[in-house]
């Protein structure tokens, strides 16, 4: 591109927003162009030019963030700053409303919400989008590319709207898509994906379930047979409803996802055959690490931008337990967004992410 | 007493309330008289006779709690059930309002809030009680006994109103009162009480500071030079303002308080002399454990009804570090309340609490 | 029984041992007969009559444990104290050696290890018992009753040797045995039991995997296709190898197990039909709590002696996710041992355990 | 310098070693020269050229670390690779032995242990160095510069041996040195430094005190009146023994230190006067952040290379509570080492550390 890249972030106040800001501030290609941070700013803060970034996230304080502020959002603000790439770390309702406008203003958009991830109307029902079925929404949806670079690198490179995947979904899709694509799995036996996530996945709003006393020293299953990420699993892995059971759990840790996935093979497999299959599939993917021995753990991936996959084949070769891990705030959200930014601009996919 | 004891608990929904319910349900003297639980109950729940206790606190489910419910509070309800002892695990504003009425109804009250703990008006300013200075409030305050049995056993035994101490306050007072009473401390050098508490001390309301992501993997100081428990320290230890600096911290654990206390002695002391002093002071106190070697830790006291005290004397004998631990929900709240119940009825002080 | 019950505990130093000591010290039937604690005691400690219990477990300090010590083990010691019931909270190798001797001395034994739980030699291979196949071992094994009172109440009541179940095994068996016994499950589709346990399950020995830095903020799967409890699952639920996949995980919490279990039904079921099935099966079991709405969590069961079971049926009625929780140190070990003690002596099953 | 910088790290297997490796691998000045990792390597691993870095620390896996291994240490190895800067993340006994040899080989050394931090023999007694008093040791000690760049920038720039400070010491010295240097503190009243550290500070060896069950949900004081870092405090702040009481505590978190420090002023101070004093002192220090409002917390600093300092002045202006936080593995160890590397080579002090 001839025009220099100028990013903007809406929603820096959340947990994924903080990590996104950190990554963009350190990105080698964006050294002289820190993001514009935009959002809701009250009158008192507007009088001082916005909310200093280091008040919102003290851990980001220092010379890199000196002088940066979250300013009152307006399309005019973005235009005046020469923004051409917009990250939305906003609730899906807000993304649903703003993405069409952003595209209208000629911006390329990376949306971290669930607003535009699902191609099939049936899968979108859990979100109950008011605009579903309108011509505009259908048109925008058609432009959306599911932002999992390991699956859709080419489409992302030219996309105007990238729908950044869900955190759970990323972890399960990366583990299962290669197996399903290769036709290894006996789909007459349901796949089980038992997933566990740290509390940051539940967002920053104080609720009874994000209270320390609820989450600490505890483990709880939720969203059984009904979690929103199920549609992403079906569409991206290539499964029919009923071919997978997905159960999320709330872990008593700040961040990280581990999915334990149970599959039955059509033909017996070995550690070596499955390892080769994964290696081939991810040969061009610098941010997926295959554990050929041992299983990944949450500690291997938190504070990294990688997804780790390991597996163990049963002695009879017919069944496997696959373990897939990532940091829900990074590969499950913000670093995946930056990975998409890299792909969209032809930069090395892992630049600024290792 | 000739009339059988019938307790009631207002505020069972909180963390201290849950522990109080558990202790009362298991109390040997109350086997055939479970507490009446009273509070706010909406119309839907009133239609089914109240909110089942095991819906409020699933961990309390089982045969002991079968059929028990939180019912809509009214003085008439308490009267109809023959209640004669009322536990208030309510916010201090509510206790401030209800205690005079309860006394009027002839109930003996054990109030777990800060409403009636402070004798001196200056110390009560942090609470900003609207009724302070009224004749009624003054009269009630005069009847209140500070419910630390280790200090006020006799007065508690005949009290109509017991003001159950604060959790931090209990931990610091038990460690310092013996030393100050014996005149050991050089009060020209400020005492430092650096206290750390688990998150349950912050209450059940979901707030930014009780969010798991705020508290977990973190430690923060708060209420520096301004915490509400300071007045209790001054009055109960016998100190002037400025003779102690008290700093609470929020620990990333569910429960437990550890206070590290720094004092200077007027005359050199030894491990043995201080141990003897504590032993003598607490000779009749079954729920205070003195560590003559080593220091207590939070794990020694959580899920127990005991306060543990240990200390180390500097080589020069002039300074000491004292460590005082307790479970903020038990000795810092509910088991202390039951200990007061025992004292009020002439039962063994630790009955139902070991 | 005419002779009074005198218990002894070998292995009080571990985590389950601590809880066992606490329960026995508070047991209403054993008020005047605290357990004899026996184990390895070095010369220095023997000189002072053993290791004081409150040095081993400071949290147990207080009047109930005053004067109690772990003494040097010998059969003579047990005899001299009139011990007739022996709890072994020892490694399985040690239990394997001592149980035959204990039976020889006429003791009734409750063994908390895995030494005598498995009837079939094939399932015992993972333990590699040196004496397997000997006449003595076969004879002892035949006397052993699997100590899950909810399944084997009658046999336990007259057993001389009770093999207390594994913690994971208890959680999975209680959830699945009723369904399999009723023939509800389509066993052509493997059952998946994805289980998660707190770190106390890994024992007190400091190892790389029990290091705080390994376990905290982490989650890891282990023992995939090879965990020792698998044999108990097969024997007690009534399954063939290959009909269940069991994967344990290490949770970053001190205690508690949650098993998420995936089954396919032969015929469609409803929440109501499954609830009724569980209710009927556990009608006489005071320590199993069925959640007819919602799912149990680890916080519901830690520090209780109960196992909690909940479930959710898929919209098509053909699949279910069952969640089973317990405290691995209590219902998964020590309180189950005391429950067996109660059953063995005809006392109410939950006495001292509520 | 004309020769390119080639670093080596001994002790990459520990927690600080892992962070040091990460920082060096990403350092802009060292892009084409990853560190040589050296240590003990057994025969089996030597046969494959050493232990792959991503086996030691899976979180470091990926393209940056591809092919890197820990190789068998020898001076010859370092020489053959052109090493000119040596990081020792080794126990102090080993550093005590190796540093003289390294200097002999012409290497510049940054030693992360406590071996060479203390100028006064009395303060070194806690380490019981066998060579203390020998001419060689005295000579090496004289060359050592205490590696706190905020205090000793100039000396570090030309040092051959930098003794990287202790983690606790860094946190307390940065908070107190400015106040003492300015003569603000009334030293007739002891300073209290109540410090709390995450478990990584205790090292990687599995011990009873690093067991998850010991550290989790707990808090414990240790090293009262005797912690090894006390000598650093005295020498670097400029205090006599007895002018400060320092008490460390073990926090139930992986990383982070928070020190709460209590001082009395000679003359009344205000928030503004103290803020100005700190700002002036640290004007040229990019990695110290002064909180002029509010207090820093552990979450503000973990995974950053900064030390954060905040404070609150008592209403009478005579006393202050100062809170000082840092990440013990970064500013308390490895990033401070890299900061020293930067200073030693005239690079911007925070390069690669923001």
Closest residue by Cα to residue A256 from A338, A331, A185: A331
> Are residues B139 and B214 part of one domain?
no
The pLDDT score that the predictor gives to residue B14 is 97
Work out the pLDDT band at D354, boundaries 50, 70, 90. confident
> Are residues B267 and B156 part of one domain?
no
CATH of the domain at D173: 3.30.360.10
Give every strand in the sheet of C51-52, ordered side by side. Answer: C51-52, C69-72, C36-39, C7-10, C85-88, C108-111, C161-163, C144-146
> Are residues C294 and C337 part of one domain?
no
Work out the pLDDT band at A170, boundaries 50, 70, 90. very high
Q: Judge whether C58 is closer than 8 Å to chain D, CB to CB.
A: no
Rounded CA-CA distance C53/B350 in Å is 20
β-pair partners for D110: D87, D162
Residues of chain C contacting A264 with CB distance shorter than 8 Å: 190
Read off the DSSP letter of residue B265: B
Rounded CA-CA distance B187/B265 in Å is 8
Asked whether the beta carbons of residue A298 and residue C220 sit closer than 8 angstroms, the reply is: yes
Altogether, the residues listed in chain D come to a count of 354
Residue A1 pLDDT > 80, yes or no? no
> Are residues C276 and C184 part of one domain?
yes
Q: Which two tokens stand for residue D66?
A: 């591809």
Q: Judge whether D238 is closer than 8 Å to chain C, CB to CB.
A: no
Kindly state whether residue C201 falls inside one of the protein's structural domains. yes
Kindly state whether residue D2 falls inside one of the protein's structural domains. no
User: How large is the average pLDDT for residues A18-37?
Assistant: 96
User: Pick from C245, C299, C319: which is nearest to A319 by CB?
Assistant: C245
SS3 state at B259: strand
Asked whether the beta carbons of residue D212 and residue C217 sit closer than 8 angstroms, the reply is: no
> Taking the mean position of all CA atoms in its chain, how far away is CA D159?
17
CB atoms within 10 A of CB B285: 19
Residues C159/C345, Cβ–Cβ less than 8 Å = no
Asked whether the beta carbons of residue B312 and residue D189 sit closer than 8 angstroms, the reply is: no
Q: Judge whether B75 is closer than 8 Å to chain D, CB to CB.
A: no
- What's the number of CA atoms in the CB half-sphere (13 Å) around residue A67? 4
In order, the DSSP letters of D40-91 are ---HHHHHTTSEEHHHH-GGG-SGGGTT-EEEE--HHHHHHTT--EEEE-S-
> Are residues A229 and A276 part of one domain?
yes
pLDDT tens column, A302-312: 999 999 999 99
Q: Judge whether A350 is closer than 8 Å to chain D, CB to CB.
A: yes
> Are residues A298 and A274 part of one domain?
yes
Rounded CA-CA distance D20/D96 in Å is 20
Nearest CA in chain D to C198: D213
Tell me how many residue pairs between chain A and chain C have CB atoms under 8 A apart. 123
Kindly state whether residue C2 falls inside one of the protein's structural domains. no
Asked whether the beta carbons of residue D221 and residue B323 sit closer than 8 angstroms, the reply is: yes
Tell me how many residue pairs between chain A and chain B have CB atoms under 8 A apart. 56
Asked whether the beta carbons of residue A296 and residue D61 sit closer than 8 angstroms, the reply is: no
Residue A136 pLDDT > 70, yes or no? yes
Residues of chain A contacting D291 with CB distance shorter than 8 Å: 58
Nearest CA in chain A to D57: A300
SS3 state at A39: strand
> Are residues A217 and A277 part of one domain?
yes
Residues B156/B145, Cβ–Cβ less than 8 Å = yes
The pLDDT score that the predictor gives to residue A56 is 97
* Residue B238 Cα, gap to closest chain A Cα (Å): 35
The pLDDT score that the predictor gives to residue D27 is 97
pLDDT tens column, D302-344: 999 999 999 999 999 999 999 999 999 999 999 999 999 999 9
Rounded CA-CA distance D86/D75 in Å is 11
Q: At what angle are helices A15-26 and A335-344 packed, to 10 degrees? A: 40
**Measured between alpha carbons, how far is residue B147 from residues A330, B110, B200, C84, C175 in Å?**
51, 8, 21, 45, 46
Q: Is B32 exposed, middle or buried (0-12, 13-18, 19+ CB in 10 A)?
A: exposed
First to last CA, chain A: 24
Nearest CA in chain D to A350: D63
The total domain count for chain B is 2
Asked whether the beta carbons of residue B63 and residue C354 sit closer than 8 angstroms, the reply is: yes
Q: Residues of chain C whose pLDDT is less than 50?
A: 1
Kindly state whether residue C353 falls inside one of the protein's structural domains. no
Residues of chain A numbered 82-141 and touching chain B (CB < 8 Å): none
Asked whether the beta carbons of residue B299 and residue C62 sit closer than 8 angstroms, the reply is: no
Work out the pLDDT band at D2, boundaries 50, 70, 90. low
Q: Judge whether D47 is closer than 8 Å to chain C, CB to CB.
A: no
Q: Judge whether D303 is closer than 8 Å to chain C, CB to CB.
A: no
Kindly state whether residue C255 falls inside one of the protein's structural domains. yes
Kindly state whether residue B147 falls inside one of the protein's structural domains. yes
> Are residues D132 and D47 part of one domain?
yes
pLDDT tens column, C112-121: 999 999 999 9
Residue A291 pLDDT > 80, yes or no? yes
Q: Judge whether C153 is closer than 8 Å to chain A, CB to CB.
A: no
pLDDT tens column, B120-148: 999 999 999 999 999 999 999 999 999 99
Best mutation target among D194, D247, D317 (most B Cβ atoms within 10 Å) is D194
User: Pick from B194, B221, B252: which is nearest to D252 by CB?
Assistant: B252
SS3 state at C234: helix
Q: Judge whether C301 is closer than 8 Å to chain B, CB to CB.
A: yes
pLDDT tens column, B167-211: 999 999 999 999 999 999 999 999 999 999 999 999 999 999 999
> Are residues D129 and D236 part of one domain?
no
pLDDT tens column, A194-232: 999 999 999 999 999 999 999 999 999 999 999 999 999
Asked whether the beta carbons of residue B211 and residue A216 sit closer than 8 angstroms, the reply is: no
The pLDDT score that the predictor gives to residue C1 is 46
User: Pick from D190, D247, D312: which is nearest to B260 by CB?
Assistant: D247
pLDDT tens column, B262-277: 999 999 999 999 999 9
Asked whether the beta carbons of residue D301 and residue A59 sit closer than 8 angstroms, the reply is: yes
User: Pick from A297, A299, A354: which is nearest to D62 by CB?
Assistant: A354
Best mutation target among B200, B205, B213 (most A Cβ atoms within 10 Å) is B213
Kindly state whether residue B351 falls inside one of the protein's structural domains. no
User: How large is the average pLDDT for residues D160-177?
Assistant: 98
Residues of A known to be catalytic: 167
Work out the pLDDT band at A2, boundaries 50, 70, 90. low
Per-residue burial over A308-327, b if 16 or more Cβ lie within 10 Å, else e, is bbbbbbbeeebbbbbbbbbb
The pLDDT score that the predictor gives to residue B88 is 98
Phi/psi for D331 (5° steps) reads: -60, -25
Residue D117 pLDDT > 60, yes or no? yes
Q: Is D101 exposed, middle or buried (0-12, 13-18, 19+ CB in 10 A)?
A: exposed
Nearest CA in chain D to C200: D213
Kindly state whether residue A350 falls inside one of the protein's structural domains. no
CATH of the domain at A15: 3.40.50.720
Residues of chain C contacting A323 with CB distance shorter than 8 Å: 221
Rounded CA-CA distance B177/B183 in Å is 10
Question: Whole-structure pTM over 0.95, yes or no?
Answer: yes
> Are residues A240 and A96 part of one domain?
no
Residues of D known to be catalytic: 167
Residues A3/A316, Cβ–Cβ less than 8 Å = no
User: How large is the average pLDDT for residues D108-136?
Assistant: 95
> Are residues B156 and B86 part of one domain?
yes
Asked whether the beta carbons of residue C315 and residue A218 sit closer than 8 angstroms, the reply is: no
Closest residue by Cα to residue D185 from D252, D244, D248: D244
Alpha-carbon Rg for chain D, nearest whole angstrom, is 20
Nearest CA in chain B to A214: B212
The residue segments making up the domain with residue C66 are: 7-164+333-344
> Are residues B141 and B172 part of one domain?
no
Rounded CA-CA distance A245/C321 in Å is 9
């Amino acid at each position: 591109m001839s025009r220099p890249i100028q990013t903007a972030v809406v929603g820096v106040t959340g947990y994924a927003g903080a990590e996104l800001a950190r990554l963009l501030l350190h990105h080698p290609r964006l050294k002289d162009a820190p993001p514009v941070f935009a959002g809701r700013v009250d009158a008192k803060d507007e009088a001082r030019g916005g909310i200093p970034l280091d008040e919102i996230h003290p851990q980001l304080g220092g010379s890199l963030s000196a002088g940066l502020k979250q300013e009152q959002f307006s399309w005019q603000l973005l235009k005046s700053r020469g923004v051409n790439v917009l990250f939305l770390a906003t609730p899906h309702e807000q993304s649903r409303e703003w993405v069409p406008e952003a595209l209208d203003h000629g911006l390329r958009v990376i949306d971290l919400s669930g607003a535009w991830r699902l191609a099939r109307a049936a899968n979108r029902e859990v979100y109950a989008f008011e605009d579903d079925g309108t011509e505009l929404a259908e048109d925008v949806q058609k432009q959306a590319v599911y932002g999992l670079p390991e699956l859709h690198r080419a489409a992302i490179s030219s996309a105007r709207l990238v729908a950044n995947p869900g955190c759970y979904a990323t972890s399960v899709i990366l583990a299962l898509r290669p197996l399903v694509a290769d036709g290894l799995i006996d789909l007459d036996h349901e796949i089980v994906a038992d997933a566990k996530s740290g509390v940051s996945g539940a967002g920053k709003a104080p609720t009874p379930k994000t209270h320390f006393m609820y989450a600490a020293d505890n483990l709880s299953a939720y969203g059984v047979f009904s979690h929103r990420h199920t549609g992403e699993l079906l569409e991206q892995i290539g499964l029919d409803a009923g071919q997978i059971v997905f159960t999320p759990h709330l872990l008593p840790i700040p961040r990280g996802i581990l999915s334990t996935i149970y599959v039955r093979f059509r033909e017996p497999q070995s550690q070596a055959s499955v390892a080769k299959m994964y290696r081939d599939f991810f040969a061009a993917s610098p941010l997926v690490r295959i554990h050929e021995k041992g299983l990944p753990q949450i500690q291997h991936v938190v504070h990294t931008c990688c997804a780790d996959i390991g597996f163990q084949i049963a002695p009879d070769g017919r069944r496997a337990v696959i373990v897939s891990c990532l940091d829900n705030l990074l590969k499950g959200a913000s670093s995946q967004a930056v990975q998409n930014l890299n792909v969209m601009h032809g930069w090395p996919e892992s630049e600024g992410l290792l």
